Chains A and B, each alone.
Chain A
């Protein structure tokens, strides 16, 4: 089975722009979670989707949004980028909500 894939792997954006990151879960997995990883804050939970519904949301501003499609693929969007949004964004999928999470390689976003 193919693992969790994330595209793009690297991205450079300018302050004020918006960005969309994509995550394709392992086939059959219906739960997708997103995390932001930075050296200072570590791993912080962004949101979780299950069957196209957002189950949980972390403490991030409204500029961060996401969605999940009927094929379980998920996207996250960050609008009006700030320098502090530079991070590794990780996606993880699981079969069910409490299932073991499998992580993707991440998308490294640099905001200049």
Chain B
């Protein structure tokens, strides 16, 4: 069964510093999508970044980038120049290709220290 594991329930980072959130997943598929979602306190969940497994190049969206290691089934999120507005719950997710179901990790709560 596909699983998504986020081993860090909580993390803290100083404002303007860089932080990396970890995610590993388990699948026997070769082509799939991976996502990082952000859920700020009492606000809607939004997509941060998306990675297609067949693309070797790591996805980047402004201060957010991923380190996608397909063989290791690892998909970490790096946030550069952390800002107070980055404080949120971050979810790693995997979309199963055979039925498009999205499986989420348990999340990492990120605190930004001023």
Footprint of B on A, CB under 8 Å? Answer: 3-4, 33, 35, 42-45, 48, 55-56, 58, 90, 92, 97-98, 100-106
CB-CB contacts below 8 Å: B81-106 with A? 91, 95, 99-106
Main secondary structure of the interface of A (DSSP, over half): strand
Which chain B residues in 19-51 approach chain A with CB under 8 Å? 33, 37, 43-47, 50
Q: How many A-B residue pairs have CB under 8 A?
A: 43
The interface residues of chain B lying within 8 Å CB-to-CB of A4 are 44
Contact at B50–A100, with CB atoms within 8 Å?
yes
Binding site for A on B (CB under 8 A): 33, 37, 43-47, 50, 91, 95, 99-107
The listed residue (A45, A48, A90) touching B45 by CB distance below 8 A is A90
Closest 3 pairs (CB-CB, A-B): A43-B104, A103-B45, A42-B106
- Given A90-B45, A103-B44, A103-B46, answer yes or no on A98-B100 (Cβ-Cβ < 8 Å): yes
- Report whether B50 and A42 are in contact in the complex, using a CB–CB cutoff of 8 Å: no
Contact B100 A105 (CB under 8 A): no
For A56, what are the chain B residues with a Cβ–Cβ distance below 8 Å? 99-101
Give the complex CA separation of A44 and B106 in angstroms: 10
Q: Which chain B residue shows the least CB distance to A45? A: B101
**Are A100 and B47 also in contact (CB < 8 A) when A42-B106, A43-B91 are?**
yes
- Cross-chain contact B100 with A45 (CB below 8 angstroms): no
